[in-house]
Amino acid sequence: MPSSQTKPIPALASRPLLIGLVVAVVAGLGFLLLARGVLGDQFGSINQHLLLAIHAYESPFLTAAARTLSFIGSAIGVVIIGGAVCVYWVRKRRNVDAWMLGVLLVGCALITEAMKQVFQQARPQVFPPLEAIFNFSFPSGHTLTSFSFALFVSVLMLRRGRPTAKRWGIAVGLLATAALIASSRMYLGVHWPTDVAAGMLVAAIWASTCLMTRRWVLTRRMRRQSASR
């Protein structure tokens, strides 16, 4: 019995690819402008002011919440959550989705490390950070990974069947959680606002790329099955 992934693809199948391409290009241009400003030290003042404004709200409760959110977006948290989703999709015979999610998460780690080495931006020292980290700052890996995951899962969920209020609620919840994870990195004093913005832009590029790749794989599978009949 064929998987639900192999249902006939509508005539307007190219529309999602076009949307994904537009999102990737726009986010790419935004990232290039941001990276140019970071390398030119154009955001130093606003970065410091924003971090100090966030730090003004420091409290034991917010610190505990920020550390919890930061753990969710850490490598351990991502492996647990991402692995659980992959297992669920495999059980639902959504093997392509599971493989692409794995590619997305591994790619997030590789892209983050590569970009940190390229830009080599120092961590903030505006106030004593609430977490000890010693590698480079730009971009925020927590932000990149959490937004990539949220975008990828949300788009697939909303495009499979009717986008019900429940599905919209889950999608909004995923994106809100990603935003909170990104905010926690600034609250803890380990990332500049520009690091977080860069992570969001790169996430849009990478998630769009993975979604387009998934669409391409499923389209080729559909054509091969049609040709073999």
Q: What is the pLDDT of residue 161?
A: 72
Instruction: Give the start-to-end residue ranges of the domains of the chain.
Output: 15-129+136-227
For 152, other C-beta atoms within 10 Å of its C-beta total 24
Q: What is the pLDDT of residue 80?
A: 95
pLDDT of 2 strictly over 70: no
Over residues 150-206, the pLDDT tens digits come to 999 999 988 877 778 888 999 999 999 999 999 999 999 999 999 999 999 999 999
Over residues 75-84, the pLDDT tens digits come to 899 999 999 9
pLDDT band at residue 224 using 50, 70 and 90 as cut-offs: confident
Average pLDDT estimate for 11-16? 55
For 27, other C-beta atoms within 10 Å of its C-beta total 19
For residues 78 and 62, what is the distance between their CA atoms, to the nearest angstrom?
22
Q: Where are the alpha helices (DSSP H) in the chain?
A: 14-39, 44-55, 60-72, 75-91, 95-119, 141-159, 165-187, 193-227
Q: What is the pLDDT of residue 229?
A: 65
pLDDT band at residue 14 using 50, 70 and 90 as cut-offs: low
Hey, which of 11-25, 189-203, 208-222 has the most confident mean pLDDT?
A: 189-203
Over residues 90-128, the pLDDT tens digits come to 999 999 999 999 999 999 999 999 999 999 999 998 888
CA 28 to chain centre: 14
Q: What is the pLDDT of residue 8?
A: 42
For residues 28 and 212, what is the distance between their CA atoms, to the nearest angstrom?
16
Over residues 32-68, the pLDDT tens digits come to 999 999 999 899 899 999 999 999 999 999 999 999 9
Over residues 126-152, the pLDDT tens digits come to 888 888 888 899 999 999 999 999 999
